[in-house]
Amino acid sequence: MEVETSGMLPEAEIAFLDEVFLGSTAILNTLLGLLNERVFRRGHTVRAVPLRVAVGASNALPEDESLAAFADRFLLRAFVEPVGDPFLEQLLVEGWGVQGPPPEPVPGAMAALDTLAGMLRSVDLVDARPHLAHAVRVMRKAGIVLPDRRVVRTQRLIAAAALLDGRVVAGTADLWPVIYAVPTAQGQALAREALGALLVRSENQSLSGAAAEASGGPMARAARIVEAGTAILADRPAGGDPLTLDAWTRRVEGQHRLRLQPARDHPLDSNERA
């Protein structure tokens, strides 16, 4: 007997798994096969799946050691904090838009992903690998030990960071994704502190917020400040309403205060990780 999978996860290219660690043992074992081998097994049904991207969300990381292997299949870890006061207006606008009809799928989105994935092998990692190895040693000395599989796969993140910044040669500017490969929030915070000197040159034109949040580097942070500041200045109210102008002025002041904070505490960057 074959299992009917039409319109379900075994036929998806992109999947979002909410509260991913709360599934039953049978469900998690099935998901492990999907994520690790790209194969769906159920009874006599065994078939390859087209899954390319899987995103899991959870309110807490699993403490059960039996879930460690499954949790380790999610290479990137992003920890989301509440949006800060200076960005409440943006939260309200974008949150209201979510209530509307779902956006139309972007034609060619998977083709673009395939192109990016296919180009990863073309990125020159010769200059980046010694720095990545040094970063792993520094983290180990600080008590952060990544499985070998996770360390090897992190090279793909570094290559992708270089490509998204318009380069085919990776360097120290592209090491910042290593922070997201650390699987716990406490570990990521410790890694930022331990790798501060190594990540100081981090920057990325396409992912400026992520690079700044990960590294706290001045180049990435400066790009983020310019981007946010430009957006606020472009939104200056044209009318003379005192309340509207006062609200806008508070946004400017809030952005100025954020300029003095470490990049990893930037509320907008936290929101972007969702």
pLDDT in tens, 145-181: 888 888 998 999 999 999 999 999 999 999 999 999 9
How would you class 211 by CB atoms within 10 Å of its CB: exposed for 0-12, middle for 13-18, buried for 19 or more?
buried
Closest by CA to 39, choosing from 15, 73, 67, 9, is 9
Closest by CA to 36, choosing from 66, 69, 12, 64, is 69
pTM: 0.68
pLDDT in tens, 189-209: 999 999 999 998 888 888 888
pLDDT in tens, 16-34: 999 999 988 888 888 988 9
Distance of CA 197 to the CA centre of its chain: 22
Distance of CA 113 to the CA centre of its chain: 15
